[in-house]
Structure 1
Amino acid sequence: MPPTSSPTLRQRRLGAELRKLRERAGLTATQAAARLGVNQARVSMIETGRTPISADRVRATARAYDCSDLPLVDALAAMTGRRTRGWWDDYREHLPVGLIDLAELEHHASALRVALVVHIPALLQTTAHARALFNEAVPPLRQHEIEHRVTHRIKRQAILHREAPPPYQAVIHESALHMGYGGAATVRGQLHHILEMSELEHVTVRVLPFGRGSFPGTGQPIDYLSGPVPQLDTVQLDAHHGCEFLDAEAQLEKYRFVIARMEENALGPAESRDLIHRIAQDT
């Protein structure tokens, strides 16, 4: 397969996981190349995602690295093949690469867990709320940039309406429900939309209300995207400079704990719907 100059996040992650297997085996790239019967440059190209790799080659590589974790090897083999075009590719020339990568991650995720303090989760936002939010961006966005971001965000939400959607769990701090983006009518529409989405069988919304005695984490928005095996989970954090993706085991464990603590401290789904309904009535 010919090399690519712009590997997708999925291709880069596959290469990174193969590098982790090599490093756990205590092999240098030169030693790995000798075991695999290729040159060192090819090993490097595979580990950066620039050279596609077949499922059979992934399994052979795992054997060469003495990896006996069959569920992980199967999951890595399923990530192989030629790059397939997704709807998000239409936005590559218009949006930051992190937003493209996030849409691809969500598409392949087996489950989604999010926790936010001052914003509504992206997959639960209305068009009006998203547009009002992007109108407040710093530095300001031009009108066509706002529209690209809005349409991209709404298209991301299709994963919650497709056949066999992934389980989606959201913890929203009460403060986010009181934010006035777009004015009263937009806020009420947004709150009613959350209520409607929370009625879906695969969507769970919990509110972390004011007055709870403890608050884990720093308040940074967290997206936890589950892979087919825990080693392939990914955390996405929103930052001023853009999306940040984490996949080291220690980082994954930390954010599993943070989200779990937030879920424990939050109201149950029914109580959360009651609180959202009261806030909507008072808006």
Structure 2
Amino acid sequence: MPPTSNPTLRQRRLGAELRKLREQAGFTTTGAASLFGVNQGRISMIETGRSALSADRVRAMASTYACSDEALIDALADMTGRRTLDWWETYRDHLPAALVDLAELEHHASGLRVALVIHIPALLQTTDHARSLFRAVVPPMRQYEIEHRLTHRMKRQGILHREDPPLYSAFIHETALRMGFGGPDVVRGQLKHLLDMSELAHVTVRVIPFGTEFFPSTGQSFDYVEGAVPQLDTVQLDTHHGGCGFLDTEAWLSKYRAVLDHMETCAFDTTKSRDFIHRLIQDT
């Protein structure tokens, strides 16, 4: 297959996981190239996601690297193939690559756990709320830029309404619920939408109130995206310059799993969270 000049996050992740398997098996790139009858450059291209692979090739590589984790091998095999023109690919000329990669990551997720302090989760935002956020960006966006970001965000929300939606759990700090983005009417509409979404069987919304004695966060929003197997989980961080940062080493995954687990201990349960949001609607 021809090389890929601009691999997606998913393609890069597949290559990175194959590199991990190679390193765990104790092979150098030169040694791996000799085993597979290719040059060292081909191994480098595979491990950077720039060379498309078939599922059979991935299984052969995993076998050579003595990987016995069948669930991981199956998951890696499912990540192979040529790049397809999915809906998010149409935004590559209009949005930062990380935002396009995030949509792809969410599309393939088996579950998502998100934590936010200032903002409502993107997948639970109304159109009016999202538009007000984009209009508040500094420096200001042009109108066509706002519309590109807005339609992209709304399409991302489709994963929560498809036939096989991922489990979605959101921890939202009270601060985010009390922010006045867009004015009272937009705020009420957004809070009502949160209540409606929280009624879906696969969506959980829990509020972390003011006064919590220990809140395990620096104020940075993040998504914990669950892959087909735990080894393929990813943490996505919102950066101060508006982009996305992706973390996938076990050390970082463990850290953010622990943060989310602790948030469960300091958040209202789902019933109290809905009651709290309902009271905010009445007061707005």
**Category of TM-score, reference length = shorter chain:** over 0.9
- What are the superposed Cα offsets for residues 87-138 of structure 1, whole Å, 9 maximum, x if unpaired? 1111111100110000000000000110000100000000000000011112
**Does the aligned pair in 2 maintain the 1:36–1:64 contact within 8 Å?**
no
Q: Give the distance between the partners of 1:25 and 1:266, measured in 2 at CA.
A: 43
Equivalent position amino acid for 1:191 in 2: L
Match of 1:115 in 2: 115
Equivalent position amino acid for 1:48 in 2: T
Match of 1:66 in 2: 66
Q: Give the distance between the partners of 1:263 and 1:152, measured in 2 at CA.
A: 30
For the pair 1:254 / 2:252, whether they are aligned, the reply is no
* TM-score for the superposition, normalised by structure 1: 0.98
Q: CA RMSD in A?
A: 0.8
How far apart are 1:33 and its partner, in Å? 0.7
Q: Give the distance between the partners of 1:81 and 1:212, measured in 2 at CA.
A: 47
Q: Give the distance between the partners of 2:264 and 2:86, measured in 1 at CA.
A: 32
Match of 1:86 in 2: 86
Question: What is the percent sequence identity of the aligned residues?
Answer: 70
Equivalent position amino acid for 1:216 in 2: P
How far apart are 1:217 and its partner, in Å? 2.3
Match of 1:220 in 2: 220
Equivalent position amino acid for 2:31 in 1: Q
Match of 2:193 in 1: 193
What secondary structure does 1:7 align onto? Answer: coil
How far apart are 1:85 and its partner, in Å? 1.5
Q: Give the distance between the partners of 2:119 and 2:129, measured in 1 at CA.
A: 10
Q: Give the distance between the partners of 2:224 and 2:25, measured in 1 at CA.
A: 28
* TM-score for the superposition, normalised by structure 2: 0.98
Match of 2:26 in 1: 26
Match of 1:47 in 2: 47
What secondary structure does 1:32 align onto? Answer: helix
How far apart are 1:26 and its partner, in Å? 1.8
Q: Give the distance between the partners of 1:160 and 1:261, measured in 2 at CA.
A: 25
How far apart are 1:152 and its partner, in Å? 0.6
Q: Give the distance between the partners of 1:79 and 1:4, measured in 2 at CA.
A: 15
Match of 1:277 in 2: 278
How far apart are 1:216 and its partner, in Å? 0.5
Q: Give the distance between the partners of 1:116 and 1:56, measured in 2 at CA.
A: 41
Aligned residues: 283
Q: Give the distance between the partners of 2:19 and 2:85, measured in 1 at CA.
A: 25
Equivalent position amino acid for 1:249 in 2: E
For the pair 1:106 / 2:122, whether they are aligned, the reply is no
Match of 1:208 in 2: 208
Deviating above 2 A after TM superposition, structure 1's stretches of 4 or more consecutive aligned residues are: none
Structure 1: 5+ residue runs without aligned partners?
Answer: none
Match of 2:268 in 1: 267
What secondary structure does 2:115 align onto? Answer: strand
Q: Give the distance between the partners of 1:101 and 1:240, measured in 2 at CA.
A: 18
Q: Which moved further from structure 2: 126-135 or 68-77?
A: 68-77
Q: Give the distance between the partners of 1:150 and 1:81, measured in 2 at CA.
A: 30
What secondary structure does 2:260 align onto? Answer: helix
Match of 1:243 in 2: 244
Q: Give the distance between the partners of 2:138 and 2:231, measured in 1 at CA.
A: 35
Match of 1:165 in 2: 165
Superposed, 1:121-132 pairs within 5 Å as: 121-132=121-132
**Does the aligned pair in 2 maintain the 1:206–1:269 contact within 8 Å?**
yes
- What are the superposed Cα offsets for residues 30-73 of structure 1, whole Å, 9 maximum, x if unpaired? 01111122111110111111110111111111111111111111
Match of 1:5 in 2: 5
Match of 2:77 in 1: 77
Equivalent position amino acid for 2:6 in 1: S
What secondary structure does 2:102 align onto? Answer: helix
What secondary structure does 2:273 align onto? Answer: helix
- What are the superposed Cα offsets for residues 154-186 of structure 1, whole Å, 9 maximum, x if unpaired? 110010000011110000001100000000000
Match of 1:233 in 2: 233
Q: Give the distance between the partners of 1:36 and 1:67, measured in 2 at CA.
A: 16
**Does the aligned pair in 2 maintain the 1:113–1:223 contact within 8 Å?**
yes
